[in-house]
């Protein structure tokens, strides 16, 4: 019997309730054993725009999923040197008897043509396209992909919005788990300028 693992990668700068809803909904819809929240170590496509360190972002994700059944943090990319490449991470997570399902938003799927080692990714994981109301129906570029489409509730929250609210002293209650808000404050992240 194989283990079916979802992989939801992201910068998580910071992690918010939208991320958790996607992970939990996909896990339920596809009957996955667990979903790994894969924290980007060096997200080359977002260089210069990541605020918190990889270690801080990993700690926030660990805090966010601590009480959510079936969700786990993954440090695979944080522990590896160099740019974050999805195929490298999937190879690191691969194991006999393990099926990987890479969870992506429609926007990320539309951007897959820019990925490094895209052809290698095809053989490493099934793609799960997360669709929210209003998203375009998209599939990975090229032929030969294994694909699932999962509809999830639309929760209009983004990490960018959360950072902006935090740095201007506005609340993120209801957008970010309370435990994560407490950890953000404890670590002094995204604080308003003095």
Asked if the structure places residue 132 within a domain, the reply is yes
Asked if the structure places residue 167 within a domain, the reply is yes
Q: Please count the structural domains in the chain.
A: 1
Which residue, among 73, 69, 165, has the nearest Cα to 184 in the 3D structure? 165
User: Tens place of pLDDT for every residue, the chain, 194 residues?
Assistant: 589 999 999 999 999 999 999 999 999 999 999 999 999 987 655 556 678 999 999 999 999 999 999 999 999 999 988 777 889 999 999 999 999 999 998 888 888 777 788 888 889 999 999 987 666 677 777 888 889 999 888 888 999 999 999 999 999 999 999 999 999 999 999 988 77
Asked if the structure places residue 194 within a domain, the reply is no
pTM of the model as a whole: 0.91
- Spatial distance between the Cα atoms of 164 and 162, rounded to a whole number of angstroms: 5
Asked if the structure places residue 89 within a domain, the reply is yes
Bond before 26 cis per omega within 30 degrees: no
CATH assignment of the domain containing 86? 3.40.50.620
Question: 96: burial class by Cβ within 10 Å (0-12, 13-18, 19+)?
Answer: exposed
Asked if the structure places residue 27 within a domain, the reply is yes
Domain span at residue 69 reads 3-187
């Amino acid at each position: 019997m194989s283990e079916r693992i979802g992989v939801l990668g992201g910068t998580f700068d910071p992690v918010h309730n939208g991320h958790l809803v996607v992970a939990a909904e996909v896990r339920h819809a596809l009957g996955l054993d667990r979903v790994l929240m894969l924290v980007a170590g060096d997200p080359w496509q977002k260089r210069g725009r990541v605020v918190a360190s990889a270690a801080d972002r990993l700690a926030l994700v660990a805090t966010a999923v601590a009480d959510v059944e079936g969700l786990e943090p993954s440090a695979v990319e944080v522990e590896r040197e160099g740019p974050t490449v999805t195929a490298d991470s999937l190879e690191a997570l691969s194991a006999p008897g393990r099926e990987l399902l890479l969870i992506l938003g429609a926007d990320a799927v539309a951007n897959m043509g820019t990925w490094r080692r895209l052809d290698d990714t095809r053989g490493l994981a099934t793609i799960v396209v997360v669709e929210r109301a209003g998203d375009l129906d998209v599939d990975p570029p090229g032929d030969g992909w294994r694909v699932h489409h999962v509809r999830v509730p639309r929760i209009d929250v983004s990490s960018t919005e959360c950072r902006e609210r935090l740095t201007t002293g506005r609340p993120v209650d209801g957008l970010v788990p309370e435990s994560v808000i407490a950890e953000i404050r404890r670590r002094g992240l995204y604080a308003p300028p003095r």
